[in-house]
Amino acid sequence: MTHHHEPVDPAFGPNHWRLATAQLLSGVGIASGVAVGAILVEDISGSTALAGFAQTATILGAGLVGFPLSKLASRRGRRTALALGFGLGAVGALLILLGAQLDVLVVLFLGLTLFGSATAAGLQSRYAATDLAPVDQRARAMSIVIWATTVGSVAGPQLTAPGAALGRVLGMNGLVGPYLFSLVSFALATLVTATMREPQRPLAETSGSGEDLSMLECLRMAWARPTAFFGMTAVVAGQIMMVAVMVMTPLHMHHQDMSLTVVGVVISGHILGMYGLSPVVGWLSDRFGPTKVVYLGMVLFLVTFLVGILDALGESSLVRLIPTLFLLGVAWSCTLIAGSAIVVGAVEPTARVPFQGTVDALMNFGAAAVTAATGTVLALYGFVGINLLAAAVLLVLLAIATRARRDRSRLG
């Protein structure tokens, strides 16, 4: 049995290459869509308030499938769960195309919801990377797969203008064109993950009775352990803060009469911050402990909110928006990777997989709840209100971090 737990080089395992490829492909699909989602809904519905629900639907979809996918991974292996997640994302992209073409909001929002399944699969890929990694290399193993998303995610928003042109050529709404790239990307990611060499035995060995844990039981377990709850909150709060600001930035820029091409540049810079430095964040987490890296992320979040407010109070400037959105991405990377590393190490192996699924479901449900209000907040209070909303979430994370310091001996 011990040979299942021998150190494995996390950078060069066959599954890591497949996970990295799938992440690159899904990155193209997710980023090309997210850059225009809110604008598309506003265009079809005529409502700015409804625009925020574009990302809400996608995040909600990711939350709804996150926990079931983790249960499926426990029973059938990562390969089955990830392929299904990306496959549902492809179906979602197809429904978005149909809904936009037919001007039927119900179909469009159903598609946006299923679209989120690809996000859930991408998030669970980071945990798949740690399944066979040595304990002292988990964060780096995770970060390498996350880093692979960089190329696809940075390229995705750059496909906004070409996608719009392609859509018009095909007689479609130009804003829906980028989702054509999403459909192809998710379909390819499904095929790639379906060929994974499944490390099922370690998953089966570590799952055990944990397969039967509910989300509520996982939450109770986390609350009883300040370290685990801190790691969970870091991931959830980081996602909420990042999404709240990132999703409304394109609409904020659109209202400033900035072009889709310029929007694509800013979002690409943001996504580069999210993924580009992830190997560095992973190394820092393994070297200095994930708790310190979460604190670093919290400081970076604060800086981005302050600069975002300054930008909104005056004339919006790309000189401020580009570096601010980049730093927002780095802050998210710190809370996601370091927080996830805390989560992996804070609970027993028997509960690890369902606990991971609970964290992913909560991060998406939380982000969905906040972004449901972002369109209205932007309409009423502008971009200043968006940044203040995100700053309030940061205060909650600070409170949980303070509670966790009492459990200092167990922190990484």
Choose between 312 and 281: higher pLDDT. 281
- Whether 128 shows a pLDDT value over 90: the answer reads no
Give how many domains the chain has, as a whole number: 1
**Residue 376 confidence (pLDDT):** 83
- Whether 28 shows a pLDDT value over 50: the answer reads yes
Mean pLDDT score, 219-228: 88
The confidence band for 162, taking pLDDT boundaries of 50, 70 and 90, is: confident
Choose between 200 and 103: higher pLDDT. 103
- Whether 411 shows a pLDDT value over 80: the answer reads no
**Residue 9 confidence (pLDDT):** 43
**Residue 365 confidence (pLDDT):** 86
Q: How many CA atoms lie within 13 A of 111 on its CB side?
A: 29
CA distances from 1 to 76, 127, 201, 205 (A): 20, 22, 10, 10
The confidence band for 211, taking pLDDT boundaries of 50, 70 and 90, is: low
CA distances from 292 to 102, 281, 285, 342, 405 (A): 50, 11, 8, 11, 12
Q: What is the pTM of this model?
A: 0.78
- Whether 12 shows a pLDDT value over 60: the answer reads no
**Is 310 exposed, middle or buried, given 0-12, 13-18 or 19+ CB atoms closer than 10 A?**
middle
Cα 12 to chain center, whole Å? Answer: 24
Give 363's contacts (C-beta < 8 A, 6+ positions apart): 63, 123, 235, 236, 238, 239, 240
**Residue 74 confidence (pLDDT):** 81
Tokens describing residue 87: 């496959």
Containing structural domain, residue 197 = 2-410
Mean pLDDT score, 219-232: 90
The confidence band for 209, taking pLDDT boundaries of 50, 70 and 90, is: very low
43-74 confidence digits (pLDDT tens) = 787 777 777 678 778 888 988 998 899 888 88
**Residue 237 confidence (pLDDT):** 95
354-387 confidence digits (pLDDT tens) = 888 899 889 888 887 887 788 788 888 888 888 9
Angle separating helix axes 37-45 and 48-76, nearest 10 degrees? 130
DSSP notation for 115-180? HHHHHHHHHHHHHHTTTTS-GGGHHHHHHHHHHTHHHHHHHHHHTHHHHHHHHHHTTS-GGGTHHH
The confidence band for 115, taking pLDDT boundaries of 50, 70 and 90, is: very high
CATH number at residue 227: 1.20.1250.20
**Residue 132 confidence (pLDDT):** 67
- Whether 410 shows a pLDDT value over 60: the answer reads no
- Whether 252 shows a pLDDT value over 50: the answer reads yes
